[in-house]
Amino acid sequence: MSDVVRTGGCQCGAIRFRLSGDAPDASICHCRMCQKAFGAYYAPLVAAGEAELTWTRGQLKYFHSSNHVRRGFCENCGTPMTYEAADGIAISAGSFDEPGQLPPVVQFGVEGKIGFVDRLHELPERDTMDDIASAPFLDDIVSYQHPDHDTDTWPNSPKEDKQ
Ligand SMILES: [Zn+2]
Ligand SMILES: [Zn+2]
């Protein structure tokens, strides 16, 4: 087992994890259940495999999507976190601090694949700030997303807004 350590967590930071060990397998799943669970066209997942998974902050909430599968998520912000079945646990790829290090190697559930997914790379591309004219709030936007690294305390900063 290698000593590679990967970390990640949900959008708000209430849930954090550490995955130690050999590079796990990343995939995308097109099945209808994964589409729903992620609110997306498909779900990117990283199978923990033999790597050691430790939840370092917070506790997941679970939805049993079938008699054999449960899906973990952050009850505070709603980020999908896990797919868990008898054959192991997989973690949502986008929740890793460096998801670009885990390229998917296989597609599952292709019977549920939405046709246009194969053409997404043909769409016109726009930078976030390209929309500044129609969305001027982007100019002074303040992110409440947890940073892409472990932190000592959570929440990181006291909320200053009165909303
Ligand atoms: Zn959260
Ligand atoms: Zn699936």
Residues 84, 86: Cα–Cα separation, whole Å: 7
C-alpha 34 – ligand 1 centre gap (Å): 19
Residues 25, 85: Cα–Cα separation, whole Å: 16
The average confidence (pLDDT) of the chain is 92
C-alpha 156 – ligand 2 centre gap (Å): 33
pLDDT band at 1 (very low <50, low <70, confident <90, very high): low
pTM given for the model: 0.90
Q: Is the pLDDT of residue 80 over 70?
A: yes
Higher-confidence residue of 86 and 24: namely 86
Residue 55 near residue 73 (C-beta atoms within 8 A): no
C-alpha 75 – ligand 1 centre gap (Å): 7
C-alpha 73 – ligand 1 centre gap (Å): 8
Place of tokens 């046709």: 115
Mean pLDDT of 8-21: 97
Q: How many CB atoms lie within 10 A of CB 43?
A: 26
Ordered domains of the chain (ranges, CATH): 5-140 (2.170.150.70)
Q: Which residues pair with 146 in a beta bridge?
A: none
Please tell me the predicted confidence (pLDDT) of residue 139.
86
Residues near ion ligand 2 (CB < 5 Å) are 29, 31, 34, 109
C-alpha 158 – ligand 1 centre gap (Å): 16
Residues 157, 160: Cα–Cα separation, whole Å: 8
Q: Is the pLDDT of residue 117 over 90?
A: yes
pLDDT above 70 covers a percentage of the chain that reads 93
Mean pLDDT of 77-106: 97
Closest CA to 68 of 48, 91, 44, 84: 84
Residue 63 near residue 81 (C-beta atoms within 8 A): no
Please tell me the predicted confidence (pLDDT) of residue 34.
98
Q: Which residues pair with 70 in a beta bridge?
A: 64, 84
C-alpha 122 – ligand 1 centre gap (Å): 33
Q: Is the pLDDT of residue 152 over 60?
A: yes
